[in-house]
Structure 1
């Protein structure tokens, strides 16, 4: 570059190019802020309302510990159900796998005398294998995930009945090993240990989905599998990985359920199926509205836990719980669909710095 002439005929060196201005991250509008954190505010509001209505029982440490302990299995199961939903698939076999896992771990400890760490390890590996089977059936047999996982779930339920003979698995007079039951009964920092399992699993899933390429690939697959194929993402492989991770998480929930109940009930897993999907779908309306995410699922489970605990202490009838779960599921699906449609409006993704556009597909379903 030549020197620049001045008014007096002399020359001066050219000025260095100015540094580009850093791009500021667009701030959230009030509507976006409410959409992201409205569910969290609802959880706080519900807790305050029930604390005012039930001041002697609800805002106590014993009640909080009870909520954290009782809702640990549904929370873990909801996180497990969320992972395939990221890829646009649904795993309806999670309830059946939960029942099989908790029955098998008790059967191995009680009937065969296996050490409890070995029994738990076998169940975790078995859950991952079931997840692989689900993924292979869905991706390579090209069967809709609803139908495929419903079919595999029925097979798992049959295996559960075959193992138990349709009866409960009851420990002997010596009971279960204390170290095994401590997986659920012990406390840490004055709070139930299962609550820390949930927090740790939420952090791991947040790290996988939000901070690692694996999560970005899974979100792109869920948004537009064809576009993911065109850019070279192995959609089948990653979808199988999602089902495998889900099976591993659900089997861990089964181990925790066995340590909680200490009796194997062949049909108990079906009671957890609806709350798991309520938490996973409702969670897609929070923190990162329009897409399933771990933090949103945790907030959704908190809302459900607080609501059900408050309703129960108010003396609600037994049928209120399924009514609450069913209505919440309908609302969750409706809000999730609305959030997804908003994000797919023309220009909506271009204004978001965290969005991923691949060809004509957007990251968020």
Structure 2
């Protein structure tokens, strides 16, 4: 069996030994450059906008505005780790936040039951996406684009183009409106989910299997990994997280409308793509994704406080996505080159070992 190892491009201790500090810095810059840029932007905006940017009020605003995007980025990241993409994270949140409200206001469902129903529907949607991709063999981009469009159409049909409003219980409001240590509770939701995903992907066999599938599904299958099962599971996890984001969005807005939600798709994908360019370049990862979301939040907040126009945010997201995809593509090609080099080196070592063994046998009396 072939060994399954990470081929992310972070430098090893052996590679760093014997290098000068300047050379080590150059090796670390591609790995942690985005993290450093995030810190630089925070310091820069804090110095230029000392009255508004480095304040608790601004931190609360950033967390409140970007927590939903962070959840959707984590949701999109899971199928990406398996080499797939899920566009329903942006389309689905439109329907999920509407259902979370209409189940209570129109059908009289208790809010905890409504939340469970929405999460279950998100998981079912993810399962359907997994079947379309793995069983029907439809490209994940096309499959999830089609599924997402259907979800959006259902949202339009359910609302009839009108807002869904009504009296909601305080318990439902508290899902998003509670403050913990003076900060929105949604920030702690994101942190807990990020830690949980990080532990699963980095320290449990399931995470290694998902990354192996994303790197080379054929090799993963040859190693006995049930590719279909893990890919479907990745889509189910993504769908459930997207539904959770929809519930929290409903708790925040307190109304349901089909015109809200699609604007989250692009920044969510940007955050996930940026995640593959830092911490562990060449593959999506949790803390890289969190760094990507953070740099988007910091950059947009700073630009807006400078008086940026309404079009600045989509412009910033679009340009950042292009840069992120370019860097991710470069890292992916470099990772492939590293993998080929490693395989060639291993083959060379095996060949040398066999030659030495044969020579030893010839010299024996």
Q: 1:43 deviation in Å?
A: 1.1
**Residue pairs, 1:112-127, within 5 angstroms:** 112-127=107-122
TM-score (norm 1): 0.86
Of residues 46-55 and 32-41 in structure 1, the stretch that sits farther from structure 2 once superposed is 32-41
Give the aligned partner of residue 334 of structure 2. 342
Q: Structure 1 residue 198 and structure 2 residue 186: aligned?
A: no
**In structure 2, how many angstroms separate the alpha carbons of the residues matched to 1:129 and 1:347?**
36
**In structure 2, how many angstroms separate the alpha carbons of the residues matched to 1:144 and 1:137?**
8
**In structure 2, how many angstroms separate the alpha carbons of the residues matched to 1:226 and 1:342?**
20
Give the aligned partner of residue 95 of structure 2. 100
Of residues 337-346 and 96-105 in structure 1, the stretch that sits farther from structure 2 once superposed is 337-346
Give the aligned partner of residue 55 of structure 1. 50
Q: 1:83 deviation in Å?
A: 0.5
Give the aligned partner of residue 26 of structure 1. 14
Out of 216, 225, 228, the position equivalent to 1:233 is 225
Q: What secondary structure, in the 3-state scheme, does the structure 1 residue paired with 2:83 have?
A: coil
TM-score (norm 2): 0.86
Say if 1:346 and 1:154 are closer, same or farther in 2 by CA, change over 3 A: closer
Q: 1:58 deviation in Å?
A: 0.7
Out of 67, 78, 97, the position equivalent to 1:83 is 78
Q: Structure 1 residue 332 and structure 2 residue 320: aligned?
A: no
- The number of residue pairs the alignment matches comes to 325
**In structure 2, how many angstroms separate the alpha carbons of the residues matched to 1:160 and 1:312?**
31
**In structure 2, how many angstroms separate the alpha carbons of the residues matched to 1:350 and 1:157?**
46
> Structure 2, unaligned stretches of length 5 or more?
1-11, 17-23, 344-365
CA RMSD of aligned residues (A): 1.5
CA displacement, residues 1-35 of structure 1 (integer Å, 9 cap, x when unaligned): xxxxxxxxxxxxxxxxxxxxxxx953654334222
Give the aligned partner of residue 244 of structure 2. 252
Give the aligned partner of residue 145 of structure 2. 150
Q: Is the 8 A contact 1:342 1:348 kept in 2?
A: no
Runs ≥4 residues deviating over 2 A: 24-32, 346-351
**In structure 1, how many angstroms separate the alpha carbons of the residues matched to 2:15 and 2:116?**
46
Give the aligned partner of residue 35 of structure 1. 30
**In structure 2, how many angstroms separate the alpha carbons of the residues matched to 1:349 and 1:192?**
48
Q: Is the 8 A contact 1:84 1:91 kept in 2?
A: yes
Give the aligned partner of residue 207 of structure 1. 199
More helix per residue: 1 or 2?
2
